[in-house]
Amino acid sequence: MAVDEAILRGVTEQTSPPTVRVFGWSRPAITLGFAQRPESVLDILGCERDGIPFTRRPTGGRALYHDREIAYSVTGLVTDPQLGGDVLTTYRAIGRILRDALIELGFDAVVSKTKPATTQASTGNPRPCFASVSRYELTVSGRKVVGSSQRRFRDAFLQQGSILAGPGYEAICRYSAGESGDVHGGFLASHAADLSTLRGGYIDEKDVSAALHRAFFSVLNIADGELNENERNLSLILEREQYGSKGWVMHNAR
């Protein structure tokens, strides 16, 4: 999260090029949309008991449990001829690239045309991200397999997303606030699926990552996520002072 914000700031200040990152998670963790309050959506004591770290993303959206998945981020300028324009135009352009990657992997992926989630659904509702589909997200057999969120900052944008390679994401229900986990579990079961389950067998995250790389870089003339010195230094500061700071995560919604 700190790396993506460092790149976003760099693109805004014209010290970083537009950038695509494709990455995984070293251990299970939870991220929330930047405007969500952890105490409203998470069983914080349960997370601490089980050693599940959580933070907020620089983008919006709702709670995600990251386990067997591949994440992507795209940072660019709103004037970019391929990705720029308004929020939904960028979602649509990136959605088509993600669809191409999933089709290469053998999935009949569809870019959703449903109406985007409301602000209340994105921030105030504790229902997890994969319990509903927003416009230009990806579905296979009617079930959500990719979730995305976006932030605009002056002349730049950051879009982040998660592609479910295997099961594990449903653990978010175990760490939902109050007694809502069972309710959320019902929504997840009917609205989301991972690629391994849809295929009926294991799919390697490395294959998903490689397909994403090919899809992005066959379309976009954009940097591949290698950090420059400014980005690396700023990301370390942001990790220490924001994303890795319990005080900031708990009390500093922006």
Q: Which residues contact 44 (CB under 8 A, 6 or more apart)?
A: 38
Is the Cβ–Cβ distance between 48 and 57 less than 8 Å? no
- What is the rounded distance in angstroms from the CA atom of residue 71 to the CA atom of residue 239? 18
> Of 101, 102, 129, 198, which residue is the catalytic one?
129
Structure tokens at 164: 């479910």
Give the chain's largest Cα–Cα span.
48
Tell me which DSSP letter residue 116 carries. P
CA 63/CA 162 separation, integer angstroms: 12
Establish whether 173 is a catalytic residue.
no
Rg (CA), the chain: 17
Query: Which two tokens mark 127?
Result: 């229902």
Q: Is 141 left (phi over 0), alpha (psi -120 to 50) or beta?
A: left
Of 52, 60, 72, 62, nearest to 3 by C-alpha is: 72
Task: Point out the residues that are catalytic.
Answer: 129
